[in-house]
Amino acid sequence: MAYKVFIVKCPDYEHSDEMMKVLFSMMGDIKQFVHPGEKVLIKPNLLSAADPEKAVTTHPRILAGVCKFVEQGGGAVLIADSPGSGIPYNRKSLEKCYERCGIYDIALKNSWELNYNTEYKQVSFQEGSLIKQFEIIAPVLDADVLFNVCKLKTHVFMHLTGAVKNMFGVIPGLKKPGYHSKLRNKGYFARMLIDLIRCIPPRLSIMDAVVGMEGNGPSGGTPKNIGYLLASENPLALDIIAGEIAGLSPKDNPVLTEARRLGITPNSPEQVELIGADFSEIRCRDFKLPDTLLKGGGLKLVDRLSPLFVNVFTRKPHIRKDICIACGACKRACPESAITIINSAGEDAAYAEINHKKCIRCYCCHEMCPENAVQLTGGLLYRMFSG
Ligand code: SF4
Ligand code: SF4
């Protein structure tokens, strides 16, 4: 069975309303996706309170296009997410995110509901290959249906974040470091994500790849004009196409590697039917993958090594004292309590410092730093196996 992914060109956000209509019309009857009266939870990527131009979060115009689609189908819109690792899932942090990411204004203008319910519940998932119980934010569980509105970005730990990784946002922010602590190996973390999309399957995933992120994403990379909007009922299928766009081989994508191990499809481009373009024309030119990527079987190697050797083969996070503002976001995100804020009387009055003996290379500090003060450096062994 071929899994369908729909794709349209969209050169910029000025044209996104029009191009989203084209995308949805290609997908057929709206009744397949929204039924009148349904409460539809729309889950964007709200990693942190960042301006839309930084390409860290789903662009508000894409979110607006999806909300309008849901309304046309007779659904009631609720926008919800729990921001990244270490950010408390509370009203204050949600308000900050909605406002800075441009979502508050579009919601207010169109009378779309923004979530402020900060409860979460334990959900049993006995079918899970690794995780049998998840903590999930309550609005996701209370909704009739979930729409996953993700962004195409690189990711220093998982190499790519798209439809599958975006679903990690349904876990409350302060619970996220615990998953990193327990699942240090990329393969185990990927397996957890696969369990999560099976536990809480989105009915539809829509990807904002108009401007994505290249380099050391998901927050410290560089915005990249890609020029596509994509949609699929299957988040794995959507990520396979995102990988084709970015030039990330399926064997270097931990999620697809694990899906293959578990016998879950789709896990390779041959199993996907791309509608709207040919595979040969979608590759984004000069797309820069993360520095942490060990190509050509490196992923397999690192996944088999003991944690001691993993640190020899992977990039090491370092904090630049001259840039650090001692905000503590990295400390709150660190699952191993490896980060301390140092207060000194000298030139760098306060800064964060990493205890590398405790570090497990999850890169949550890099992901959550608002100042890009966490740099990733690699030694000789790393360079032998990279690029
Ligand atoms: S490294 Fe970044 S996140 Fe950590 S304290 Fe400094 S500025 Fe904040
Ligand atoms: S210091 Fe190490 S363990 Fe802590 S968040 Fe950074 S990469 Fe992860």
CATH of the domain at 129: 3.40.50
Give the side-chain half-sphere CA count within 13 A for 94. Answer: 18
3-state secondary structure of 287: coil
Which of 224, 248, 281 is the last residue in one of the domains? 281
123 assigned to some structural domain:
yes
- What is the percentage of the chain residues whose pLDDT exceeds 90? 89
Query: Are 237 and 354 within one domain?
Result: no
Which of 229, 246, 281 is the last residue in one of the domains? 281
Are the C-beta atoms of 71 and 158 separated by less than 8 Å?
no
273 assigned to some structural domain:
yes
- With a 6 Å cutoff on the Cβ, whether 352 touches ligand 1 is yes
The per-residue pLDDT for 294 is 76
Residue nearest to atom 7 of ligand 1 (CA): 324
Query: Are 242 and 109 within one domain?
Result: yes
d(CA 235, CA 232) in angstroms, rounded, equals 7
202 assigned to some structural domain:
yes
239 assigned to some structural domain:
yes
Pocket test for ligand 1, best of 331, 369, 375, 376 (most atoms within 8 A of CB): 369
297 assigned to some structural domain:
no
Ligand nearest to the CA of 314: 2
Query: Are 330 and 188 within one domain?
Result: no
Are the C-beta atoms of 277 and 5 separated by less than 8 Å?
no
Give the side-chain half-sphere CA count within 13 A for 199. Answer: 27
| Strand 204-214 with 222-232, pairing | antiparallel
What single string gives the DSSP state of each residue in 193-247?
HHHHHHHS--SEEEEEEEEEEESSTTTSSEEEEEEEEEEES-HHHHHHHHHHHHT
What single string gives the DSSP state of each residue in 331-358?
HHH-TT--EEEEE-SSSS-EEEEE-TTT
Pocket test for ligand 1, best of 216, 327, 337, 348 (most atoms within 8 A of CB): 327
The token pair at 57 is 């979060």
Ligand 2 centre to CA of 339 (Å) is: 8
Helix residue ranges, H only, the chain: 16-26, 60-72, 91-100, 103-110, 138-142, 163-166, 176-182, 186-199, 235-246, 254-262, 298-304, 307-313, 329-333, 364-368, 380-385
Query: Are 242 and 171 within one domain?
Result: yes
294 assigned to some structural domain:
no
Query: Are 262 and 317 within one domain?
Result: no
Q: With CA atoms as reference, report the closest residue to 129 among 195, 226, 184.
A: 195
How many domains does one find in the chain?
Answer: 2
Ligand 2 centre to CA of 377 (Å) is: 13
Query: Are 106 and 183 within one domain?
Result: yes
Query: Are 161 and 221 within one domain?
Result: yes
Ligand 1 centre to CA of 323 (Å) is: 8
Q: With CA atoms as reference, report the closest residue to 190 among 212, 152, 160, 211.
A: 160
Q: Which atom of ligand 1 is nearest to the CA of 374?
A: 1
Ligand 1 centre to CA of 347 (Å) is: 16
Q: With CA atoms as reference, report the closest residue to 54 among 97, 92, 22.
A: 97
288 assigned to some structural domain:
no
The token pair at 19 is 């191009």
- With a 6 Å cutoff on the Cβ, whether 157 touches ligand 2 is no
Q: Which atom of ligand 2 is nearest to the CA of 354?
A: 1
Query: Are 276 and 317 within one domain?
Result: no
Residue nearest to atom 5 of ligand 1 (CA): 326
d(CA 118, CA 258) in angstroms, rounded, equals 32
- With a 6 Å cutoff on the Cβ, whether 334 touches ligand 2 is yes
Which of 247, 281, 315 is the last residue in one of the domains? 281
Burial of 175 (0-12, 13-18, 19+ CB in 10 A): middle
Burial pattern 205-240, b for ≥16 Cβ within 10 A else e, equals bbbbbbbbbbbbbbbbbebbebbbbbbbbbbbbbbb
d(CA 232, CA 238) in angstroms, rounded, equals 6
Are the C-beta atoms of 74 and 36 separated by less than 8 Å?
yes
Q: Which residues of the chain have pLDDT under 70?
A: 1, 295-310, 344-348, 379-387
d(CA 150, CA 5) in angstroms, rounded, equals 14
Query: Are 243 and 346 within one domain?
Result: no
Query: Are 58 and 135 within one domain?
Result: yes
Ligand 2 centre to CA of 176 (Å) is: 13
Q: Which atom of ligand 1 is nearest to the CA of 320?
A: 1
Ligand nearest to the CA of 375: 1
The token pair at 277 is 């373009």
Domain containing residue 359: CATH number: 3.30.70.20
Residue nearest to atom 6 of ligand 1 (CA): 324
Strand partners, 229: 8, 208
375 assigned to some structural domain:
yes
Judge if pTM exceeds 0.75: yes
Residue nearest to atom 4 of ligand 1 (CA): 330
User: Which residue segment(s) compose the domain that 151 sits in?
Assistant: 3-281
Query: Are 187 and 228 within one domain?
Result: yes
- With a 6 Å cutoff on the Cβ, whether 339 touches ligand 2 is yes
Ligand 2 centre to CA of 248 (Å) is: 24
Query: Are 320 and 176 within one domain?
Result: no
